[in-house]
Chain A
Amino acid sequence: MATVELRFTALPEHVRTARLVAAAVARRAGVDESVLDEVRLAVGEACSRAVGLHRLHGLESPVRVSLTEDEKKFSIEVADEVPETGSPSAPGRHGEAAGHPAPVSDEAGEGDMGLAVISGLVDDFEVTAGGTGGTIRMSWPTVPPPLAT
């Protein structure tokens, strides 16, 4: 099992860097070329959501992205440090999922739309929320390199 970990300050300009790194590591891990666009989009959505949550809560701690390769799959974990609140922390704001407020903007509920995009793209996808923050986990199958003969 090999891991690449990336930590970045919750700034929108760093989300692109996370996308590029994730796509590069996924390609190396053997994720099919046709799926790399999906990896790029899904990790971008997860990171945008985490950045939005950190900014909404005024957190200066970084967002953490783990890219893990094992024999059969390539996994990405995007972790934020916004604790589960159990109840909406900002009454009257829209776009709040159970116990975990989504980023709010003056446009559509972008945090929720981000999750909708990920769930439409990735079959193996899970969102968890806990006392230390939330995590989005997703994985893609890898194609093993051809055996040398």
Chain B
Amino acid sequence: MDLSLSTRTVDNRTVVEVGGEIDVYTAPKLREQLVELVNDGSYHLVVDMEGVDFLDSTGLGVLVGGLKRVRAHEGSLRLVCNQERILKIFRITGLTKVFPIHTSVEEAVAATD
């Protein structure tokens, strides 16, 4: 399965809906999308991962890179994820301490630092 990406704006936040598999082959597409959004001035991102079937360290690297980019503009990158097998990867790499992880897009959009 390939990667699907779509973006929409909700209350001044840009929601990136990701579906499919994020791995060494597809992660560059996600990276391009995040870089493009930041270059276009979207600094508050919510990455909705509910449709993600597979995530590996390459995908984690892209998300960390995205976080670095938005933070350079005092922005934010929040994740939406309820899937245990995806959450586990964030947990074993310690990235649950780095990313705010929410249970719904609504919750992520409403959250403030």
Q: Report the interface size for chain A: residues with CB under 8 A from the other chain.
A: 25
Whether A12 pairs with B92 at a CB distance below 8 angstroms is no
Q: Which residues of A contact B (CB under 8 A)?
A: 12-13, 15-16, 19, 37, 40-41, 44-45, 48, 51-52, 105-110, 113-114, 116-117, 120-121
- What chain A residues lie within 8 Å of B58 (beta carbons)? 48, 110, 114
Nearest-Cβ distance from residue A21 to partner chain B, whole angstroms: 15
Across the interface, A113 reaches (CB within 8 A) one of B21, B54, B60, namely B60
* B12 CB, nearest partner CB in chain A, Å: 26
Q: Which residues of A contact B92 (CB under 8 A)?
A: 116-117, 120-121
In this complex, which of B54, B61, B93 has the most chain A Cβ atoms within 10 angstroms of its Cβ? B61
Q: What are 16 A-to-B residue pairs whose CB atoms are below 8 Å?
A: A12-B24, A15-B24, A16-B25, A19-B54, A41-B56, A48-B56, A51-B24, A106-B65, A108-B60, A113-B57, A113-B93, A114-B56, A114-B57, A117-B56, A120-B93, A121-B92
Contact between B89 and A110, CB atoms less than 8 A apart: no
Question: Do B23 and A15 have beta carbons less than 8 Å apart?
Answer: yes
Extra A-B contacts (16), CB below 8 Å, given A52-B24, A108-B60, A117-B89: A12-B25, A16-B23, A19-B23, A41-B89, A48-B23, A48-B58, A51-B24, A107-B61, A107-B64, A110-B58, A110-B61, A113-B57, A114-B57, A116-B93, A117-B56, A117-B57
Q: Chain B, 59-94, contact with A by CB distance < 8 Å: what is the 0/1 string?
A: 011101100000000000000000001000100110
Which of B57, B65, B92 has most A Cβ within 10 Å?
B57
Residues in B neighbouring A107, C-beta threshold 8 A? 31, 61-62, 64-65
Query: Which residue of chain B lies nearest to A11 when distances are taken between CB atoms in the complex?
Result: B25
**Contact at A40–B57, with CB atoms within 8 Å?**
no
A16-B25, A110-B61 known; A37 and B56 CB under 8 Å? no
A131–B62 CA distance with the chains assembled, in angstroms: 32
Query: Cβ of A45 and Cβ of B54 under 8 Å apart?
Result: no
A44 near B85: Cβ-Cβ < 8 Å: no
Return chain A residues, CB-CB under 8 Å to B89: 41, 117
Contact B23 A113 (CB under 8 A): no
- Min CB gap B55→A, angstroms: 8
**Smallest Cβ distance from B72 to chain A, in angstroms?**
14
Q: Are B24 and A117 in touch, CB under 8 angstroms?
A: no
B61/A40 in contact, CB under 8 A: no
B25–A108 CB distance below 8 A: no
**Contact, CB under 8 Å: A16 / B57:** no
